[in-house]
Structure 1
Amino acid sequence: MPSYSMGQAAKLLGVSPETVRRWADGGRLRVARDRAGSRLVEGADLARFAVERGAGPHAVPEDDVPTSVRNSFVGIVTAVRVDDVAAQVEVQSGPHRLVSLVTREAVEELGLAVGVTVTARVKSTGVHVDLP
């Protein structure tokens, strides 16, 4: 089973290494020491922590509505690019950047603009997983 350094864990969680150290020192994230004394997080522990953290405020909207889409991200619109027919909307949800291509009409009807809070819902028939 893989183990991760504080820096590697931080990168996977989208936070600083100092934040991971604080979580470890506070008992939120279980760590062990290797022979050199460096702190390591076991892969299974990091995966559990990531799932728990994902259940936080950025994962599920407060006004959750019935939907078949299982991946919802509450975030803030950071960019809107509109042309004659289509538009590109960028959303920042915690450490995640999502980009959606929608119609110009949808942008206008929803009032999408930089600074607006939205829920991005993602449903995909294909999810690719790559190893580093």
Structure 2
Amino acid sequence: MRSYSMGQAAALLGVSAETVRRWADGGRLRMERDGTGNRTVEGTALAAFAEERAAGRHPVPDGVATSVRNSFAGIVTAVRLDDVAAQVEIQSGPHRLVSLVTRESVAELGIEVGVLVTARVKSTNVHVDVP
């Protein structure tokens, strides 16, 4: 099974290596030592921890039924308006999302730079690459 270094785990979780060390020292994230004595985290343990951390972060409001499962909470970093359309850029952790919506929607929702939003993505095409 694949193992990850402290730095790799930190990058995947979007936190500092020091935060991962604190979680390990506090017993929240199970670490092991490799043959050279460096701390590592096993891939399935890291995946489970990432899911646990994300649980409840992007809840769907009560009374709303949706099939959308991919949610990204973030801050609006740019809004470009045209006569009819608008391009909204969102920074969600290390992820940059760009959405094309109507100018009317931007106005109705009060979307502007600095506003906290949740982008919900439904896609029929998801590409997965392996390094």
Task: Give me the TM-score of the superposition, normalised by structure 2.
Answer: 0.88
Partner of 1:117: 116
CA distance in 2, matches of 1:22, 1:95: 21
Partner secondary structure for residue 8 of structure 1: helix
Unaligned runs of 5+ in 1: none
> Any conservation in 2 of the 1:90–1:100 contact (CA below 8 Å)?
yes
CA distance in 2, matches of 1:47, 1:112: 33
Partner of 2:23: 23
CA distance in 1, matches of 2:124, 2:102: 21
Partner of 1:101: 100
| Residue correspondence of structure 1 range 1-132 to structure 2 within 5 A | 1-57=1-57, 59-61=58-60, 63-64=61-62, 65-132=64-131
RMSD between aligned residues? 1.6
Partner secondary structure for residue 9 of structure 1: helix
Partner secondary structure for residue 12 of structure 2: helix
Partner secondary structure for residue 73 of structure 1: strand
The structure 1 segments of at least 4 consecutive aligned residues displaced by more than 4 Å after TM superposition are none
Q: How far 1:79 sits from its partner (Å)?
A: 1.5
Q: How many residues align?
A: 130
Indicate the percent of aligned positions where both proteins have the same amino acid. Answer: 77
> Any conservation in 2 of the 1:73–1:119 contact (CA below 8 Å)?
yes
CA distance in 2, matches of 1:2, 1:76: 33
C-alpha spacing 1:8/1:26, structure 2 compared with 1 (3 Å): same
> Any conservation in 2 of the 1:3–1:42 contact (CA below 8 Å)?
yes
CA distance in 2, matches of 1:10, 1:3: 13
Q: How far 1:93 sits from its partner (Å)?
A: 2.9
Unaligned runs of 5+ in 2: none
Which amino acid in 1 is paired with 2:114?
G
Q: How far 1:28 sits from its partner (Å)?
A: 0.8
CA distance in 2, matches of 1:79, 1:17: 30
Partner secondary structure for residue 101 of structure 1: strand
Partner secondary structure for residue 88 of structure 1: strand
> Any conservation in 2 of the 1:60–1:73 contact (CA below 8 Å)?
no
Q: How far 1:21 sits from its partner (Å)?
A: 1.0
Partner secondary structure for residue 129 of structure 2: coil
